[in-house]
Amino acid sequence: MSKELFNALKEGVVTVEFTKLDTGELRVMPCTLNNEISKQKLEIKNYHTNDTMVMWGLDVQAWRDVKIDTIQKWYPGYPQDKE
């Protein structure tokens, strides 16, 4: 899952749904590693860990470090509307 997620983040916007460590609540975060979208100068070229992944949170405009084993699901694009 990690390599596929990394590649999707490099391509564009991905929504990652994960469990927050401090509260246990579900966090739904649109994020990216695409510099054209994030307007950031830091470029992560390779993925080398199975523990955590750094990504740019579009809703908070800040870098976030997400533990891979807390990710419930991810999908391309912005968060799906809850009905």
Distance, in Å, from the CA atom of 64 to the CA atom of 22, rounded to the nearest integer, reads: 14
Q: Give mean pLDDT, residues 37-49.
A: 77
Q: What is the DSSP letter of 68?
A: G
Query: Residue 41: pLDDT above 50?
Result: yes
Minimal CA–CA distance to 15: which of 55, 63, 65, 62?
55
Tell me if residue 29 falls in helix, strand or coil: strand
Looking at the chain, the whole-number percentage of residues with pLDDT higher than 90 is 75
- Quick one: CATH architecture of 2-76? Roll (2.30)
> What value does the mean pLDDT of the chain take?
90
Residue for token pair 């950031």 = 40
Query: Residue 15: pLDDT above 80?
Result: yes
Structure tokens belonging to residue 83 = 């009905």
Return the amino acid letter for 24: G
pTM attached to this predicted model: 0.87
pLDDT band for 43, please (50, 70, 90 cuts). confident
